[in-house]
Structure 1
């Protein structure tokens, strides 16, 4: 590989794996640049544990410069990709602009929150896609419990202690599971009046939790959450959100100060401006992750519609497992396009799924074997330790401390609500700060 310019846009599961693969293959023989808004790779599956105070935030962040030798990091967010000029225009964290040129481009821009056209959601809901959202949610939940202990009005107290999670996929289910354990620990220190208990609601328009997974995992998660007192509502969603609460499509009004939006994601809107074929918003690529008509451009992860060889005619799901594996394939094929090795089509083997339900509970089906309870919890944590590219010892240490010591229930006050807006599915709103406000 000569001094070819390789540009990777995005350092999620797909982009990070691409960069790591190319870093090993090139050994400094190519100029590899990674464009990303942050200086870390976020291990998203453990983010609910950050929100619950189980893990410290740095445990789920992996330094890009510290783990990717031979890769130059540029802090910025892509704004426009000019395929004809082979140039990517970006905005840096302080509002400046810049551009990067390339010989090979890997688009791994990922996804943004999916915002449905529901009145009030953009103003009063909070997403859950990054460390700021997790830290803000931890502070918000802690604050509401602390305020409720001094509240004389029962209705206001009940609203402060009601937490509504919309979306019962991976993220929503784990947020509700971890959040319930967090508030349970908080009320031990801050008992509520009249025997009142925190209430967690988990809503989804589907007919079961975790609709994308095996029904046995869904039933396990449903049973564990209900036994803990989580109010699970399927075939139910939010019709309107206000400062005072949410109106469900069943007609029921739920007073609450906390609405957590985990409905799902859609591909990053930057791919809309490429003027290339899209499949449900995802950039169409071939089995080698090449963009048709542009052999120098590759795409992977949530923003790419990668053919799924196990399901002909369909694209691989938008999951971390697929993104991680696609990143390796993209790295291999970029190197092959520069004369190093042979390109390979994307292939995968389903190893099963794991869901962390907090404490020692979990649901898992490794290699098709359905597990539940503490054994599934152990398998889930073991899987995450094996999958994390760094910080394994620190994560394990936090888990041991959580098991041995009382959970710390304090506000950090690091993040204000206006700095963690719920991103929209609309391209023109995807990166615009939300409506800042003071929370009650």
Structure 2
């Protein structure tokens, strides 16, 4: 009798941990992981890549190296036949592939969320992948270099102004790391030493990091404002052009840099399945099984997992939940194949971490609010613990850069057209990060 085949769609936090758990605890199962890339991306450290603190390879962990017993298929899943139990995908060369499955695990993750604001799709860039982070680092560097080369004062001001929309985790960290990056770059460009470098962080919320405790939010706000970041609360962008954005209060801000960190939405694959969804996320039981489809499981950002610690709500779209749901997916898939009872997902958030660059961070491990160097130590320690690989290299980069700050150059490896927000859909929701 052949081994049961489990096909996992997506190699993010949930998918990676599901595959890892199955390989460890279900030796009689064939694990197939379908993912567009051959690496697991540690998303929480993307702002540090964009800010020139870490090299991109550091947060890209080889899936083949970490999951030697799994079959890795490179491709984008675009077709799922639930009745026929078949998955179809398109590989990087445009070829097609298809596989049957005994169990299907949907962990397709999420993508940038675009709001119906004129000009944003054409002129903004997000920070959700390595390509976007590399582009942003090169773009910031290029803008300052071009500013240093021009005698046009208006052009120089626009190129030295950076607007970040969304004051959630990503937007706050991007603004914090970006401001430090531009500060380092100005030291390399004598022509800009008397030129103000302006960072604007805008959100319709009444405070930065609205997901956090108010004390931590206030601490992060103080750090940003202390560095000169122009924090705009209760405001957003209502129109964007290639050389300026108009704010909701009517102010026109000349800029060549609009960085979109408003939020995410589930991968569009979920909406094409014909299954129940909640705010775009696939409805699942507390066991992570899809109602009426006992052979299909889902977790992570693409699944609306009931939060048993907060009746009536679903778990947040966070790496913390996705990682733990991935582990439960492995257990429950193995249990379903063996005819054993499934376990329900129940996890109370252990706290959140926000790295603000330099010696600053905000954290509430086990809901104990911390700021400054103690929070920084906790934040970096957690990331090293949570990463599935490359820990020594990440730690070495941090140690080296604390002594000799990195110098940025624009390699031009990623073009603007390759990281446009065109893959996102319009959603009429508040502009909150």
8 Å contact from structure 1 (residues 115, 424) kept in 2: no
TM-score by length of 2: 0.96
Partner Cα separation in structure 2 for residue 91 and residue 46 of structure 1: 29
Q: 1:193 to 1:283 in 2, by over 3 A?
A: closer
| 1:22 equivalent in structure 2 | 22
8 Å contact from structure 2 (residues 186, 193) kept in 1: no
Output aligned runs, 1:91-102, within 5 Å.
91-102=90-101
| 1:319 equivalent in structure 2 | 318
Q: Deviations over 1:256-315 (max 9, x none)?
A: 011110100011111111111111111000010000000000000011000001100110
Q: Deviations over 1:355-380 (max 9, x none)?
A: 00001100001111111011111110
| 1:69 equivalent in structure 2 | 68
8 Å contact from structure 1 (residues 36, 75) kept in 2: yes
Partner Cα separation in structure 1 for residue 251 and residue 180 of structure 2: 26
* 1:182 equivalent in alignment to 2:181: yes
Q: Deviations over 1:231-250 (max 9, x none)?
A: 00011111111011101111
Output aligned runs, 1:93-132, within 5 Å.
93-132=92-131
| 1:9 equivalent in structure 2 | 9
Partner secondary structure for residue 338 of structure 1? helix
| 2:269 equivalent in structure 1 | 270
Greater CA deviation, 266-275 or 185-194?
185-194
| 2:162 equivalent in structure 1 | 163
8 Å contact from structure 1 (residues 125, 260) kept in 2: yes
Report the aligned-residue RMSD. 1.3
Greater CA deviation, 1-10 or 227-236?
1-10
Q: Deviations over 1:360-410 (max 9, x none)?
A: 100001111111011111110011011111110000000011011132121
Per the TM alignment, residue 195 of structure 1 is displaced from its structure 2 partner at its CA by: 1.5
8 Å contact from structure 1 (residues 127, 423) kept in 2: no
Q: 1:372 to 1:167 in 2, by over 3 A?
A: same
Output aligned runs, 1:315-354, within 5 Å.
315-339=314-338, 342-354=341-353
Partner secondary structure for residue 49 of structure 1? helix
8 Å contact from structure 1 (residues 283, 305) kept in 2: yes
Per the TM alignment, residue 325 of structure 1 is displaced from its structure 2 partner at its CA by: 0.6
| 1:53 equivalent in structure 2 | 52
Unmatched 5+ residue regions in structure 1?
428-440
Aligned residues between the structures: 426
TM-score by length of 1: 0.95
Partner secondary structure for residue 195 of structure 1? coil
| 1:197 equivalent in structure 2 | 196
Partner Cα separation in structure 2 for residue 226 and residue 406 of structure 1: 22
* 1:292 equivalent in alignment to 2:294: no
Unmatched 5+ residue regions in structure 2?
427-433
Partner Cα separation in structure 2 for residue 265 and residue 392 of structure 1: 27
Partner Cα separation in structure 1 for residue 8 and residue 341 of structure 2: 20
| 1:432 equivalent in structure 2 | none
Partner Cα separation in structure 1 for residue 276 and residue 358 of structure 2: 45
| 1:380 equivalent in structure 2 | 379
